[in-house]
Structure 1
Amino acid sequence: MTISPTLRPDCGNCFALCSTALGFARSVDFAIDKPAATPCPNMAEDFSCAIHQSLRPRGFRGCTDFDCFGAGQVVSQHTFEGTSWTQDPSTKSSMFAVFKVVRQLHEMLWYLVEAQQRTFDPDLAVAAGHLSDHIAATAQGDASAILGADVETLHSEVRHLLMEVSEELRASYGAEDQQTPDGGPRDGELSGADLMGADLANRRLCGVDLRGAYLIGARLRGSDLTAADLLGADLRGAQLHGADLSRALYLTNSQVNSAEGDPNTLLPPRIARPSHWT
């Protein structure tokens, strides 16, 4: 299975669903408060962002970090057949609700694509393919079918499969024998660990389980994260200069966009290099 183009955002074919359906609170990531289901004041009439070229310096870093995994254009052009919520206000609440579900489904697909491609187990690859097909079909359904989907059960099934693939890959790098850089607990205990501001520079972190870890501001310069499980890891402000993430596991554009890096940072082919890194 190859990566579907619909897993990549196409803002030109979206009705600004990320900046309307979702809300955000004033913080270091957003300069203002914006309730959910309301248009962002920076949204232009054609659904483009009026300050797109200066989002980060104007305090909207969270906007540049966000990734809808291609849900926006699918909901806009497929589910609602190209009729916007401004053209037909009666679809507004339904469209916004569908967008939130499809984004979750597409995020699951993003991870399953990688799991299917990287597992050594043919049975796991087949299972990932079947699950992907089911989720993709759900995301392509009509609004009522999408809103009626059992997303919680799908999340559980995907999580279980992703963990199986992760354990398999990490074990191939001797993950069961690795410890934290300071000689502390074994890598399995790093899942969800508080590593904010930690000095992990120039380390061999191959196969380490960093799932859900807090790596905010962590120093990872020059480190090798091959087969490191980064599912849900918080990389905001993490220093990835010269680090090798080319074979890191379950990395997303959103995570990379929230981090800091340079031209020497190695990324997987499907991850776009953030413009602010240069």
Structure 2
Amino acid sequence: PQVSTDSWSLRIHGMVDQEITLTWDDLLRRTPVERLVTLACVSNPINGDLIGNARWLGYRLDELLAEARPHPDADMVLSHSEDGWTAGSPLSVLTDGRDALLAIGMNGEPLPVRHGYPARLVVPGLYGYVSATKWVTELEVTRFDRATAYWTRRGWSAQGPIKTGTRIDTPRGRGRIPQGRTVIAGVAWAQHRGVTGVEVQVDNGDWRPARLSTEVTVDTWRQWTYDWEATPGQHTLRARTTDTTGQPQTAVEQDVVPDGATGYPTLTIQVN
């Protein structure tokens, strides 16, 4: 969609005491915040690349919703896109103090059109299909037993919290590397819970702790590295993340449908 700021508006309505319509000029009279947030797609396979981190500029959704005064029995916000797409987000997640945003900027620039210009939703901890509405024009306060979003009607779970996970970025899978010291590295995430540890396993050996980068926020991924003395032959590398609850990501393999893939990222490496 090609949406002009001259014609754009955001309507907050439904199960609220006070319906609100905000124009672009209304937004510009407010004070925005800038936050680093990692977003993930529910279709991201194990060790996939459908996850990324960006610096978002926008306005807190909890403050906007508070002005409309949602009814006590409401539990969902159905966000509508200019093109008719919808996403159903738990009202409790949008109002629990996390940096859920109506975003208008990305990495120091206005939102690119493909990322939802002029405004979109960014919600830490939820997969995009239940939160990341681009070209957003409406926030309808409702209930999960009264409204069904686009992907929920197509068999996906109604609520999509992002699962704890990790990715091995180097060395590359099915590659060839020389023997000797090799750095295994990647990123790990547990949005809005935070990552406390990453472990690496070579073949079927013991799990060994990796080094973690400094945590920026609980809503962003963390980089990790592990030094490995690679010996000749074929080897299998695995990694797993533990979040602040003390629970490591599950080894049970599950496809992306209906609420995100699970399992350990696994690479096969040939050492010469």
Larger radius of gyration: 2
Structure with greater helix share of residues: 1
Question: What TM-score does the superposition give when structure 2 sets the normalisation length?
Answer: 0.24
Bigger proportion of residues as strand = 2
State TM-score, norm by structure 1: 0.24
Structure with the larger RCO, 1 or 2 (CA within 8 Å, 6+ apart): 2
